[in-house]
Structure 1
């Protein structure tokens, strides 16, 4: 009985666009209990059939707005099965070890060395752009894959090596995307998803899939981006720490925003709210992977402001962006330029073309010394948006000076 109830619970939850954490809160609210005796993990256990709701059934039904009997009825779920991350793996397993390997035997010291290189590349990406880092990133990734395929090692060393290849693929894919090499970035991300899944690191697999979904959403493949972002969240959330779940939901929000339309706008705002709730569950004793060091309340505010900008709600976007920018590290030139670009568009939407032009000038100045395709694309977006105000002297001067962009 548990498995049929579990399938029904998951179907009804996803039909409402709720996360497992949201359903847990609704069940507790329906039961009138203080605190959260039912949490996200308990919902996950119900959905997978590991446990049966039993005494919680009436409150679960009330939360979902259905009779209790409807939960107990086996159902044939209509439509094709939802996509999973397995659907996005490369056709060929590029990580398959070569037969008759003759490479040297390696131990954890080789894994530790690769981990340090990944960390160094990640820190470099904070202050340098894709055009500066694409060559060393690809070189390191090729070496790591070669090491995995040609060397001999214990099963544990192999698993940890795959995990580091996954982490390296995430940052290398991000760098390739920033350099404008989107096809290469997609191949790298898919390779990383494969490595993470083989290492049984589902949190890392979700992060890689979310990064690819983000690229798809930003390069004209919005529906694919939304499908992948949702699959990343569904497949990875059960084992993910709060920071990771917040990041997955952040990317779901952005994917909905890029698809567009009123319903997707509402889904985006709902996902942002759930991302904030997930991050609030992060505590001092919660252990998160090192690569999530940048995920915090400030980053969620950035995404919220960007969503508001895309939804043409400048009265919400502008104050948020000003707050974020006032405390942002100016040495992170690319991110500063990107965040300012959203402010420029929001100011144009707020009918403040003079101020928008002044901010745009800063974006262009920062972008001139930043070999980032992301920044270059944002400059094009700003100039296109400002053409509506070509009669404003400040805007006319900006467009004349930078019309080549």
Structure 2
């Protein structure tokens, strides 16, 4: 792990402590000033600490007092950020590299061992998995990565170390697959890309062993989406297309629409606009297909509104703002405001589309909302989108509204 990775993890740790105390960045800055008697701690300084740009060594005792955290834990975390091989970051989950030894990751024991489990145990695990999905609607990756990986670790151990019937074993593998998907999504949102890829691949292995082709497709398309967004556009597109083929034409309508939406995004990232627009149309057609198998519980969020969001994102990337802007404005007017991360992300696309439409004043207004919201989230996705919006505003530095946003938040471009 690089020194930059360690500092970022330390920053995420500080951010999680702040959110646990129910303070915004400005509120924490004010509390630190009040306790220390200093006036030099600003919201921007807190933001720099939480992004891992700086380590607030001199302020650690004040942090301990304000946040109610033992000073020795903060000092240990700071030592970890500085590269001390003997230090550990409190609360960080084991990575999947630790969970999965060499060989078949999910190979069950050759002889019965441990306690025998049945349907009730798997039902309890399924409820917790779905609880993680619902939590992800309103929380960010940095808030959820520890419980998500803890559940994944426990589920893999349960499969390996318990005895169970063939049907129970299959159901348990399905839940490990679903956990791999949500843990991978959460890790990606937290900026832990390698952990995300391991989680997705472990999930694919479990879903294949369970014989759940639609879940395999969900994991493969999720991994493809991650690759497309991290500079590996061609492998991402290949995986997205393979997921559609894996699911087959008999897959539930909502899942087929989701997989085709991800194909559209992968084509967009690969610079293939006509194929992207064609896949968007196919996604809408799939969602409108009557009858068919019911959607699995993990697809609860796939609906017309979410497809319209992807339409708008693709149109924005293709520089078609006259179509993207009204679509995003309409979606945001109806979107659940408790889903803070998604609202910030969708506003970021709107800001870029407005800039493309030569509406810099409105773009600056949306940009400020994106940046001020994302500062309180432990999401690398929103942080990256905030930087993208700022880069786009640099073309309008002569416009007072855009210049003001760049003056206030331009330091984010240095990360």
Q: Distance in 2 between matches of 1:282 and 1:219?
A: 36
1:332 maps to 339
Aligned residue among 279, 286, 289 for 2:287: 279
2:359 is the alignment partner of 1:348: no
Aligned residue among 389, 392, 400 for 1:385: 392
Q: 1:91: how far off?
A: 8.2
Q: 1:344: how far off?
A: 0.2
Alignment of 1:138-287 (within 5 A): 138-260=149-271, 264-283=272-291, 286-287=293-294
Q: Distance in 2 between matches of 1:105 and 1:386?
A: 60
2:128 is the alignment partner of 1:121: no
Q: Indicate conservation of the 8 Å contact 2:250/2:293, yes or no.
A: no
1:298 maps to 305
2:414 is the alignment partner of 1:397: no
Q: 1:365: how far off?
A: 1.2
Q: 1:368: how far off?
A: 1.4
Q: Indicate conservation of the 8 Å contact 1:196/1:204, yes or no.
A: yes
Q: Normalising by structure 2, what TM-score?
A: 0.74
Q: 1:286: how far off?
A: 4.7
Q: Normalising by structure 1, what TM-score?
A: 0.75
Q: Indicate conservation of the 8 Å contact 1:243/1:282, yes or no.
A: no
Q: Distance in 2 between matches of 1:303 and 1:114?
A: 31
Distance 1:294 1:133, change over 3 A: same
Q: 1:287: how far off?
A: 1.1
Q: 1:102: how far off?
A: 2.6
1:317 maps to 324
Q: SS where residue 403 of structure 1 aligns? A: helix
Per-residue CA distance 1:86-145 (angstroms, 9 max, x = gap): xxxx98421111344531111111100100110111110010000100000000000000
Q: Indicate conservation of the 8 Å contact 2:351/2:364, yes or no.
A: yes
Q: Indicate conservation of the 8 Å contact 1:165/1:192, yes or no.
A: yes
Per-residue CA distance 1:2-21 (angstroms, 9 max, x = gap): xxxxxxxxxxxxxxxxxxxx
Per-residue CA distance 1:345-394 (angstroms, 9 max, x = gap): 00000011111000000001111111100000000100011111111111
Q: 1:146: how far off?
A: 0.4
Q: 1:330: how far off?
A: 0.4
1:110 maps to 121
Q: SS where residue 404 of structure 1 aligns? A: helix
Per-residue CA distance 1:17-57 (angstroms, 9 max, x = gap): xxxxxxxxxxxxxxxxxxxxxxxxxxxxxxxxxxxxxxxxx
Q: 1:237: how far off?
A: 2.0
Which ranges in structure 2 are unaligned for 5 or more consecutive residues? Answer: 1-100
2:381 maps to 374
Q: 1:238: how far off?
A: 3.4
Spell out structure 1 runs of 4+ moving beyond 6 A. none
Per-residue CA distance 1:146-171 (angstroms, 9 max, x = gap): 00011111100000000011111111
Q: Distance in 2 between matches of 1:373 and 1:222?
A: 19
Q: 1:240: how far off?
A: 1.0
Which ranges in structure 1 are unaligned for 5 or more consecutive residues? Answer: 1-89
Q: Indicate conservation of the 8 Å contact 1:103/1:150, yes or no.
A: yes
Q: Distance in 2 between matches of 1:240 and 1:174?
A: 22
Q: Distance in 2 between matches of 1:282 and 1:123?
A: 27
